[in-house]
Structure 1
C-alpha cells in the first residue's frame, strides 16, 4: 500500500503541474488566490446573510426556516478552525469556487477535451455569477460545487457502468439536499434523463433506487424538523414568492441566464447543450443535458425564480461546449486565430465585469466604474436602491447600527441593562447586534424574522426594549412610554436601512411571550 502511494504521489504532482491536469489546476489556484486576496485586502464588509448564518451557527439544529442545516454546520466548523473574521468566514466559498472549476476541468478531460478545451471551460467557469457567489458565505457556493460533483459522477456512471458509483451519487445528492432543496430539481432532471435516454437500463436494477433511498435518509432530518415546526420552510417559500420575489418573471429568468454568466461565453454553453442533445460526438452523454434542462423547465414554470437558481447547472455545458469548440478549431487557422481570439475575448470580459460582482474596487471607485459602464444598481427583491446594487449595499451599515444601539443601551443603569431586550425587525439588524454587539457589550438580539422568531424572546418580559426601526406611531400603542433615542445613518447601505430610528420602549402592555406567536415574519 505504501509503495502504491509513493508511486501515485509523483504521478499526480506531475499531472497537476505539467501534465493533462495542469490547465485546470492553475485556473483553480488562480480562482482561489483571487478570492483570498479580495477577502484579505477589502471585501467591503460582512454581508447581511453572513450575519444571519453566523447567528444560525450559534443555534445548531436539524433545520432552519429558510435553509437546511449543512451550510450552517460547515460555517460553524470553519469558525472553530479559522475564527469569525471576514476573511475566515469566506474561506469555504473560496475553496468551493476553486474546487468547482477543477471538477469542471475533470469533466472536460473525461469528455475528450485537451488543453484548449480545459482552459476554455475553466475561463467560462470564472463567470460573473460564480465570482459573486464565491465572494461571500452562503449555501449557494456549496450548491454550485455539489451540482458539478453530481455531473461528474453521472458522467463516470455512463463511461464505466460501475454500479458502485450509485451509492456515491446518492450520498452527494443527499448532502446537496441537506444544503439547499433546489437539488430536488436536479434530481428531477437526473430522473427524466435516465428515463428518456438509453441509460434507462439502470432502472431494471436496484442501484438508482438505492441512491434515492440514501439521499432521502440523509435529507430526512430536515424533513422531520419541518414536521416539528409546522412546515416552516414551505411557508417561507410561499411568502417569499408572493412578496419579495413577486416581481420576477420567466422572461427575466431567461434573460438573466445570459447576464449572470459571461455574455460572450454563451457561445460555449449553448454549443455544449446542443452538442449533448444532437451531436453524434457526445450523443452517448445525452443524459447529462437533462441535469440542466430539467431544472430549467421547473424554474421557468415556477414563474418567480431568480436567475441565479440555475447557476449550478452550467459546469456540464461549459465542458461539453469547450470540447465542441476545440474540435471545431482544430485546423491551423483555428489554432492560430480563433482559439486565441476566443480566450482573449472571454478573459477580457471577465476582467471588465469582475468588479460588478465582487468587492474589488474601493466603493467610490466602484460607483464611478459602474456609471462609466452604464451599469444601474439592481436587486432581485424589488427593493429601492441607491448608489450600490443590493449584493454590495448589504455589506454596509451593520457595525454602525450596533454602535448606535450601544449608545442607547449604555444610557441605562446596570439593573436596567439586565432586563433590556434589543429587538430587530429583520435578521440583518439582529445579526448585526449579535456579531458586532460583542465589542460593545450588548446582549444577543431578539427578532420576529425567520429563525429569530423561532429562537424566541430569550426570557425577556418586555419591560424594557430597544427597538430598531419603525416609527413612533408603530410602537406607542404597545408600551406605556416610548421615546426616540437616536437615528442610525449609513452611507452606502440599502436605503431602507439608512436613517433607522432607534426607540426605547418601557413596559410593554402585554407580556411579550403572549404576543410573540402573532409576530412571526417568514420571507
Structure 2
C-alpha cells in the first residue's frame, strides 16, 4: 500500500472507459419500461418538501425535486440514477488508487462494480441505493487518506460527507457507529484525541440536525414505521448464512475471490485495517438487525478496490508476467463476460417477455427482499409496469360519471404507489389529486373539501362496505408484467357515511 509517498496517477483512459460504459448503459435503458413504484412516491414527496418523511430522510427527495424542476420526465429521473451509478464505479477506481493501485487495479475495481448484479439493478432506478455508495465510499476514501498521511484536517471533509449521507438515509448513522468502533480497534483511534476529528463530528451533526428535529417534532415516525415492519413481518428475515449467501449471489459468485481477497488484504495492511474491521462490524450489525439483503451493498466497492490492488500486486510479483498482457487480460475478460451475461437480466434492454424468458432460462431471478411482492419479474422491474394504465382506467371511470356526481367524487389510493401514479399521470387526464393515508402521503393526503364518493384503488369490498351507502365494482386493473398485488378490482363507493377527517387516524397506515 502507498503511504505518504506520491500515489500512482489516475489511469483516466481506462477508468473513464469503464465509467462511460456504466453511464451510457443506464441512459440507454432509461425509458424502456416505466416509473418504478418508489419513484412515483418520491415525486409526490418532492411536491411536499419537508425535512423528513415517515420512511425516508429528505436527501433522496431533494434529488427528485431537482428532477421535477427539470421536467420530471422518466429520462430525467433515470439520468440522475445513472449518474449516481457512474460515480460509484469511479469511487471504486479512486479507492484502488488510494490503496496504491496502478492502472490495472483502478480499471479492474471499476469493472467489478460495473459487473455486479446488485449495482446493475439498483442503478437502473432513482432510489437511495443509486446514491448511497457515494457517501459511504467518500467517507472510506477520506479515512484511508487520513490513516495513510496523518492529515487530520480531512476530518472536516469527512464530517461534511457523513452529514450529507445522514440526510440521504438514516442508515448512515449505523455505518458511522460501526466505523467509530472500527477506529477504536485500530491505531486510527489516536485521532480521537485531535480537535479536528471532533470538529468533523460536530459538522456532521449540525448538517443532520434539521432532519433530527423534524423527527422529534413528529414523534419519531421512522421508529413507528420500523416497528410496524417488524410486527407485520413485511421483510424477508434472513439468518446469518442465508444473508451471506445472498451477498455472494447478488455480487456474482465469480467475484467472490476478488472481494474476499480484498478483505484479507485490508487486514494485512496497517493503514487499512480499520476498513476490514468496518466491513465485519457492519456485516454483523446488518445480520443482527435483520436488514434487507441489499442494505450492505454500498460497502462492496471498497472490497473490490482492495481486491483489485491485491490481484495487481500478485501479478507484479509474478516476474515473467510483467512483460505479457494476458495474465491481466484473463481476469478482466472473465468479469466482462459475466457483465454481458447479467446485463439482460437486470437492465431493461429487452421487452418484458424476452427478459422473463432469459431470466428463467438462466435461473437468475433475484431473491425477494419483501414477503408480499410477487410477479413474473423481480420487484425492481415488475413495479415499473401498469401505473399509466391504472391512471387511464380511473380517468375512464371518472369521466363516465354524470357531471354533478363527478364534482363530488374523489380518488382514494390504498398505497403510495397508486397515489403517485394518479398524481403523476392524472393531471393530464383531468383527475383530481389522490387521497391517500399510506406512509408520508398521510401528512398531505386529506383533501380540504371532502368528497361524497370515492373511486377506490387497492381496497377490498368488505373493507369499503362499512363506510359507504353502496359499493360497486367498476373495473379490474390487470397488468401482466406488473406486481400481482396491484391486479385488483377498482370500486366506486357512493355516499361516504363518515367524514374522512374523522376516520383518518384509523385508516392511516405506515407499512
Normalising by structure 2, report the TM-score.
Answer: 0.94
Partner of 1:388: 377
CA distance, structure 2, for counterparts of residue 384 and residue 79 of structure 1: 28
1:317 aligns with 2:303: yes
Q: Residue 411 of structure 2 contacts residue 455 of structure 2 at CA under 8 Å; is this kept in 1? A: yes
- Specify the alignment match of 1:212 in structure 2: 201
Q: Which residue of 2 is the match for residue 90 of structure 1?
A: 78
**Partner Cα distance (1:174, 1:470) in 2:** 40
Please tell me whether residue 294 in structure 1 is matched to residue 281 in structure 2.
yes
- Stretches of structure 1 that go unaligned for 5 or more consecutive residues are 1-14
Judge conservation of contact 1:90–1:136 (CA < 8 Å) in 2. yes
- Aligned position for 1:136: 125
Distance 1:417 1:154 in 2: 60
Q: Does 1:398 align with 2:381?
A: no
Q: Does the CA-based 8 Å contact 1:299-1:305 persist in structure 2?
A: yes
Per the alignment, residue 9 of structure 1 pairs with: none
- 1:196 and 1:116 map into 2 onto residues whose CA distance is 32
CA distance in 1, matches of 2:74, 2:244: 33
Equivalent-residue separation in structure 2 for 1:286 and 1:184 (angstroms): 21
Q: Does the Cα contact within 8 Å between 1:166 and 1:210 map onto a contact in 2?
A: yes
| In 2, Cα distance between equivalents of 1:235 and 1:249 | 24
Look up the match of 1:516.
504
Is the Cα contact below 8 Å between 2:414 and 2:436 reproduced in 1?
A: yes
Contact 1:249-1:305 at 8 Å conserved across structures: no
Distance 2:348 2:133 in 1: 20
Contact 1:457 1:512 in 2 (8 A): yes
Partners of 2:415 and 2:458 within 8 A in 1: no
* 8 Å Cα contact 2:96-2:106 kept in structure 1: yes
Matches within 5 A, 1:140-151: 140-151=129-140
State the Cα distance separating 1:336 from its structure 2 match: 4.4
The 1:228/1:283 distance shift into structure 2, 3 A limit, reads same
How big is the shift at 1:456? 3.4
Structure 2 equivalent of residue 447 of structure 1? 436
The answer to whether the 8 A contact 2:236-2:369 is kept is no
Residue 412 of structure 1, aligned match among 398, 401, 425: 401
Q: What is the deviation of 1:112? A: 1.2
Q: Does 1:255 align with 2:245?
A: yes
Matches within 5 A, 1:62-461: 62-81=51-70, 83-126=71-114, 127-242=116-231, 243-277=233-267, 279=268, 282-302=269-289, 304-330=290-316, 331=318, 332-333=320-321, 336-376=325-365, 378-383=367-372, 385-461=374-450
Aligned residues between the structures: 498
**Following the alignment from structure 2 to structure 1, what is the Cα–Cα distance between the partners of residues 23 and 399?**
43
Offset at 1:270? 0.5
Report the secondary structure of 1:39's partner residue.
coil
Structure 1 distance, partners of 2:171, 2:244, is: 18
Tell whether the 8 Å contact from 1:252 to 1:307 is kept in structure 2 after alignment.
no
Q: Does 1:31 align with 2:22?
A: yes
Counterpart of 2:480 in structure 1 is 491
Describe how 1:473-484 pairs up with structure 2 within 5 A. 473-484=462-473
1:20 to 11, 25, 45: 11
Q: Distance in 2 between matches of 1:417 and 1:213?
A: 55
- 1:431-482 C-alpha deviation (Å, 9 max, x unpaired): 1101111221111101121011121311242411111133322211211122
How big is each residue's C-alpha offset from its partner over 1:122-154, in whole Å with a ceiling of 9 and x where there is no partner? 111111111111100111111111111111111
Query: CA RMSD, aligned part only?
Result: 1.7
Residues 275 and 283 of structure 1 are in contact (CA less than 8 Å); yes or no, is this contact kept in structure 2? no
| Aligned 8 A contact 2:186 2:274 in 1 | yes
Distance 1:323 1:359, change over 3 A: same
Query: Are the equivalent residues in 2 in contact too, given 1:121–1:319 (CA < 8 A)?
Result: yes
TM-score computed with the length of structure 1 as normaliser: 0.92
Q: CA deviation at 1:366?
A: 0.6
- Equivalent position SS for 2:57: coil
